[in-house]
Structure 1
Amino acid sequence: MGRVTVRRPVRKLTEGGQTRRADLLAAEEPLELRVGGKSLAVTMRTPGHDVELAHGFLLSEGVIASKDDVFTARYCDGVDDQGRNTYNVLDLALAEGVAPPETGVERNFYTTSSCGVCGKAALDAVKLKTRFAPGESTFAVSTEVLAGLPDTLRKQQRVFASTGGLHAAGLFRADGSLLAVREDVGRHNAVDKVLGWALLDDRVPLSDCGLLVSGRASFELVQKAAMAGVPFLAAVSAPSSLAVELAEENGMTLVGFLRGTSMNLYTGDQRVLEPDAMWAVRSGV
């Protein structure tokens, strides 16, 4: 398995002078995903939980709906220039009767750690039909629980604590407890990893959970959540306009700028339970 962190020499300059030391960086390596021996996607990711990442990716792309839809997942043999196994090619065989990924829609499946999957021919082609109905979920969370979630997530970001260079995604219950947390240099990879964990643990559809992400809420992250049946997405940063539109279309709750007791409710605010005295709506908004 590849390394999660890498040490590199650094020359640090400050007002007090300069020092040379080793700096710990978050590892970033390419992972090629194959289905039935055919290359499907290449993503730049932090090594680790690759099988979860692959399952989450195929779930969010509408290829699979349960762990039984994948027959096997195995690394392909490969070595780097030092003779070490790179573990950077993962091949999945779908179960009998499961249709392979569609090839009719023009796609650029190369993904980066920043933007995620992109390049579909048109917006209508980007939108995938969900197998589940997140809008039907009665999942709800109090503002008190929401306020504590970012700190709870940060405490479980082990690699971020040592490098400062990773995004995180966590699945949470209504009481604020975290079911699983995954980190990655790419926010979309972190989400795929945690959704893949849920799929392999037979928890999909995730109608009784929320998804918390450490960065912004993009269209793609809302779509991934919807494809897994997640009714509630909270982000510590801003959502995009398309993210809000897609969340509304799917009946999902979207919370942005979640920072302590301050947060913006963009859609589905019926799932956010507010104490009347503390969260009264002020006039003039």
Structure 2
Amino acid sequence: MDERKNPALEVRAVHRVHDARLEHFPEHDVLAEEMPVALEYNGIAYATMLATPADLEDFALGFSLAEGIVEAPAELYELELESNRAGVIVRLEIASERFVHLKARRRALSGRTGCGLCGIESLTEAVRPVPRVPQGGVVPLAAVLSAMHALRARQPFHGATGATHAAALAAADGALLVVREDVGRHNALDKAIGAAARAGLLRPGGAAIALMSSRASFELVQKAAVAGIGVLAAVSAPTALAVRLAEEAGITLLGFVRGREATVYSRVDRLGRR
């Protein structure tokens, strides 16, 4: 990867501290970029998130699906990116019926890194009901562990900067289907869902496992449920609210998935013993 030509990365001169001493000569470090990304639907501003400026088409579609703004990729008619000094505007044209529904929700978001629920006016909207994921087949535990292991080698932005999260979708056998990165874990999962939707991988027999290089928050479970993914695995801990929602949605939620270890917090019946 050429960091100097990648808009998602920035190379900066830094001074290191070794053994409590400031080094005299500067070195170069690579930083993950983040910038405001504004989403407009049919000409109406809806949300502004701080995100890594990569795979923004996937992000816009995944966000639209996960938030229930559209129910299928076919309801997104047009997508256009406009970059300026302030950030990026993503202009989306969606089906008229979906736009009427969007306006009726009167939801206002003001996103920032690490927070996908900032600025929501209605508390009931924040914890809105999610669809129950169909039972489907059993996912082998070994598939989840191997997929998480494989994810570690598929994070070029994190390798360069140490500042991004990764989200991946995998098949029931553990094969990684889609990997996306972003400074925000919610954004990373939106990007992965959007990429999978474009490739037709959200149908039965497609993506069965969602993997996160972060903790498992309530909103990540929401997004997995809307995408119809029955297993969500995270490197770190879940919240109590995330576990309750996973039980309600019929999702197997795993935390602390590291090496050959994991903790299963809900719906162990979806998980094969090996």
Do they fold alike, i.e. is TM over 0.5? yes
Counterpart position of 1:79: 84
CA distance in 2, matches of 1:12, 1:206: 50
Counterpart position of 2:10: 6
Counterpart position of 1:220: 219
Counterpart position of 1:265: 264
Counterpart position of 2:35: 29
The counterpart of 1:52, out of the listed 55, 58, 62, is 58
1:246-265 mapped onto 2 (5 Å cutoff): 246-265=245-264
Checking the alignment, whether the CA contact within 8 Å between 2:77 and 2:95 is kept in structure 1 is yes
CA distance in 2, matches of 1:188, 1:212: 12
Q: 1:141 to 1:204 in 2, by over 3 A?
A: closer
CA distance in 1, matches of 2:99, 2:22: 61
1:113-128 mapped onto 2 (5 Å cutoff): 113-128=113-128
Cα offset, 1:129, TM superposition: 4.3
CA distance in 2, matches of 1:267, 1:10: 45
Per-residue CA deviation, residues 125-162 of structure 1 (Å, 9 max, x unaligned), is 223344x541x232332222222222200101111111
Q: Give the secondary structure class of the aligned counterpart of 1:238.
A: coil
Cα offset, 1:101, TM superposition: 5.0
CA distance in 2, matches of 1:102, 1:67: 16
CA distance in 2, matches of 1:68, 1:122: 29
Per-residue CA deviation, residues 72-126 of structure 1 (Å, 9 max, x unaligned), is 00123x533xxxxx76001000134433453455644111111113343454322
One-letter identity of the residue aligned with 2:33: A
CA distance in 1, matches of 2:87, 2:204: 30
Q: Structure 2 length normalisation: TM-score?
A: 0.90
Q: 1:203 to 1:133 in 2, by over 3 A?
A: farther
Checking the alignment, whether the CA contact within 8 Å between 1:28 and 1:46 is kept in structure 2 is yes
Q: Give the secondary structure class of the aligned counterpart of 1:47.
A: coil
Q: Give the secondary structure class of the aligned counterpart of 1:211.
A: strand
Bigger mean CA offset, 101-110 vs 226-235: 101-110
Q: Structure 1 length normalisation: TM-score?
A: 0.86
Checking the alignment, whether the CA contact within 8 Å between 1:139 and 1:271 is kept in structure 2 is yes
Q: Give the secondary structure class of the aligned counterpart of 2:31.
A: strand
Gaps in structure 1 of 5+ consecutive residues: 81-85, 276-285
CA distance in 2, matches of 1:45, 1:20: 28
Which structure has the highest helix share of the two?
Answer: 2
Counterpart position of 2:181: 183
Cα offset, 1:206, TM superposition: 5.9
CA distance in 1, matches of 2:152, 2:139: 19
The percentage of aligned residue pairs carrying the same residue is: 35
1:139-218 mapped onto 2 (5 Å cutoff): 139-205=137-203, 208=206, 209-218=208-217
Cα offset, 1:260, TM superposition: 1.4
Counterpart position of 1:20: 26
Q: 1:244 to 1:126 in 2, by over 3 A?
A: same
